[in-house]
Amino acid sequence: MYGSRGIIYMEKIKIIIDCDPGVDDALALAYAAANQEIFDILAVTTVGGNQTIEKVTRNALDLTEFYGLDVPVVKGMDGPITREPLYAPESHGASGLGYCVLPESSRTLAGDNAVLYMRELLLGLGEEEKVVLIPTGPLTNIGLLLKLFPEVKSRIKEILFMGGAACGGNVTPAAEFNIYEDPEAAKIVFHAGIPMVMCGLDATMKCTLTRNQVAKLSQSGRKIGKACGDMVGYYLENSTNKYRGVASIHDVVPLMYLIHPEVFTPKRAILDVDCSEGVSRGTTICDFRWWKHDEEEMNGLVLMDADSNLFQEYLITALYELEESLSGE
């Protein structure tokens, strides 16, 4: 019995994770793999962002096999709908996973393009079946899916995305990376009329692992712990996280919110995004003025805060549980 927005799931939650692994995406996949009794992962799709589409797709294949996730992986768009791609090698390394080298998966991709694959998957569901989309990279694939094939909207229960901020930014003072990368795609998603949970920096900057916790993972002598500790260690010591002494594991938040909403503080809003070229490019606009709008217009929830200690407890526990489940195989 899990739920966000007061939605209670009486059965496994069908999800599609659209990601750009990327270190924190890698931890999100681990968290999903540790909770397969809750999540029915229908597919992992990739989008260019932290690294090129080729590198993030390679990482998605290797990570899913490494975590024992037998799920389809499909490559998506390399760059934004209209703009030049920006990558983040300074934070995620040349490979996208820091210096962590995983066994190379022999698996092949399950389709030619993530947008077409998601359309077919969603329209192939039973009339009553719906999917929760979990984008943790730029929203390019999701924006194109909704623009090209609006008929899929009835098969989407809600979209919980990592991106944006009610206040602040990381790429600029006003914009978060995933939204800054492809603001046009975000505009399509925000105006699609689908219930959304914005897992933005207001909450994710508090969803961290400390240097000590990272070191303990790396030194755990166990494969999942060491890989995750090594990945996050790179991210902590090479990105701007190094000045904070903690690493924000942004992309775990949408998944954790579905299982443990008590960790977070949501607030109803209408979402919009600045698609200008100026200093406010990619700024997410959160309209909290409930007194000006009808209930159904307020289809966004913004996570305004998070309990860091609870986040750390649930994430680290999940990593060790994943370890146990794989060592028992």
| Residues of the shown chain interacting with ligand RIB in the complex, contacts defined by CB under 6 A | 20, 22, 24-25, 49-50, 136-137, 162, 170, 176-178, 250-251
| Region from 25-33, 166-174, 213-221, 276-284 binding Ca ion, contact rule CB under 5 A | 25-33
DSSP string computed for 109-176:
-S-S-HHHHHHHHHHTS-TT--EEEEE-S-SHHHHHHHHH-GGGGGGEEEEEEE---SS--SSBTTB-
Q: Choosing among ligand RIB, Ca ion, none, which partner's interface includes residue 170 (Cβ < 5 to 8 Å by kind)?
A: ligand RIB
Q: Which of 13, 14, 16, 20 binds Ca ion (CB under 5 A)?
A: 20
Q: Which of residues 118-177 bind Ca ion (CB under 5 A)?
A: 136-137
Q: Which of 18, 20, 62, 251 is catalytic?
A: 20
- As a whole number of angstroms, the distance between CA 256 and CA 261 comes to 7
Closest CA to 78 of 122, 114, 26: 114
| 3-class DSSP assignment, residue 43 | strand
Q: Are 107 and 65 in contact (CB under 8 A)?
A: yes
Task: State the Cα–Cα distance between residues 20 and 31, nearest whole angstrom.
Answer: 16
Contact flag: residue 25 with Ca ion (CB under 5 A): yes
What's the min distance (Å) between Cβ of 154 and ligand RIB? 27
Beta pairing, strands 73-75 & 39-46 = parallel
Shortest Å distance, C-beta 287 to Ca ion: 25
Does residue 287 carry a catalytic annotation? no
Q: Residue 308 has which token pair?
A: 């860091």
Please identify, using beta-carbon distances, which residue of 49 and 93 lies nearer to ligand RIB.
Answer: 49
Cβ distance to ligand RIB smaller for residue 204 or 298 = 204
Tell whether residue 95 is a contact of Ca ion (CB under 5 A).
Answer: no
In the complex, least distance from residue 175 CB atom to ligand RIB, rounded to whole angstroms: 9
Taking CB under 5 A as the binding criterion, the range among 32-40, 83-91, 248-256, 306-314 that sits at the site for Ca ion is 248-256
How far is Cα 127 from Cα 317, in angstroms, rounded to an integer? 36
Rounded to a whole number of angstroms, the minimum distance from the CB of residue 290 to Ca ion is 30
Q: Name the minimum Å distance from CB 22 to ligand RIB.
A: 4
Q: Which of 73, 92, 121, 116 is nearest to 27 (CA)?
A: 92
**Active centre residues (catalytic):** 20
List contacts with Ca ion (CB under 5 A): 20, 22, 25, 136-137, 251
